[in-house]
Amino acid sequence: MDEEKDPQVRVMSRQEKEEYQGVTIDENPDTEEERVETPRSRSRIYVHSSFGNTSLGRMGWGTKLLLVVGGAALLAFLFFVALPVLLLVVGAAAAVWLIMRLISG
């Protein structure tokens, strides 16, 4: 901003920067010592997650294809193998329960 627009905001001279003890906003910090960092709390909690670093954008097309084929194979196994076996086990258990109930009662 120009001094004409806002007279309270201006770039400090090097001498003013050296004498000033507060936090300043630099226009273009050229060196590390001129950059202002905000104080950070020491009581932060960091949670590491292995899912946070995974990105489909960084994977190659071969890896994406393998993931799709693997997912489709898993769904096919669950639908065509695991589900029928589960239904047979539940049906057999229901038949045994029904027969035992008729015999005992």
Given this model, what pLDDT does residue 1 score?
A: 47
Please list the ranges in the chain whose pLDDT falls under 50: 1
Domain assignment of residue 4, yes or no: no
For 55, the domain range is 14-104
pTM: 0.43
| Complete DSSP assignment for 51-104 | TTT--GGGS-HHHHHHHHHHHHHHHHHIIIIIHHHHHHHHHHHHHHHHHHHHHH
Segment 56-84, tens digit of pLDDT? 677 899 999 999 999 999 999 999 999 99
Given this model, what pLDDT does residue 95 score?
A: 98
Count of structural domains, the chain? 1
Domain assignment of residue 52, yes or no: yes
Nearest Cα neighbor of 34 from 16, 52, 59 is: 16
b/e per residue 42-69 (b: at least 16 CB within 10 A): eeeeeeeeeeeeeeeeeeeeeeeeeeee
Residue 82 to residue 4: CA distance in whole angstroms: 77
Domain assignment of residue 60, yes or no: yes
Given this model, what pLDDT does residue 64 score?
A: 92
Given this model, what pLDDT does residue 101 score?
A: 96
